[in-house]
Homo-oligomer: A and B are copies of this chain.
Amino acid sequence: MSEFKLNNQQLVCVASFLAREGREAALLAALAELIPDTRREAGCIRYELNVSRDEPRRITFVEKFVDLAAFEAHCAKDAIQHYFHHIMPELVESHHVETYHQVIV
């Protein structure tokens, strides 16, 4: 991978959640509620929520933060911890969170 430069400072995250049957509206509401405060975080570059066109139960955040510390501070916030520990177990069938560095060409 020597030809390509990664931006090793900024942190990209794709966090995808598959709602349990019939819980997609509740999940969407719970996730959308996280948006305003997250966008107020000084280290937040992008925090966009998306609903799959083929599978309405799949709801996915596309995120970018200025660095790992900003991302970790985001994850440690009460609202995010509450979501992962109390809301997600009830509303989500499966999930996948993956963090990335962007390739700069």
- Interface size of A by CB at 8 A reads 46
Q: In the complex, what distance in Å separates the CA atom of A29 from the CA atom of B32?
A: 24
Whether B99 and A14, one on each chain, are in contact in the complex, defined by CB atoms closer than 8 angstroms, is no
Q: How far is the CB of A102 from chain B (nearest CB, A)?
A: 5
Chain A positions 1-23 with a Cβ under 8 Å from a chain B Cβ: 1, 3-10, 12, 14, 16
- Smallest Cβ-Cβ distance to A9: which chain B residue: B42
Question: What is the minimal beta-carbon distance from A24 to any residue of chain B, in angstroms?
Answer: 7
* A49 CB contact (under 8 Å) in B8, B51, B58, B102: B102
What are the 3 tightest A-B residue pairs by CB atom distance, in nearest-first order? A50-B100, A9-B42, A66-B66
Residues of A within 8 A of B (CB): 1, 3-10, 12, 14, 16, 24-25, 28-29, 32, 35-36, 39-40, 42-43, 45, 48-56, 58, 60, 62, 66-67, 98-105
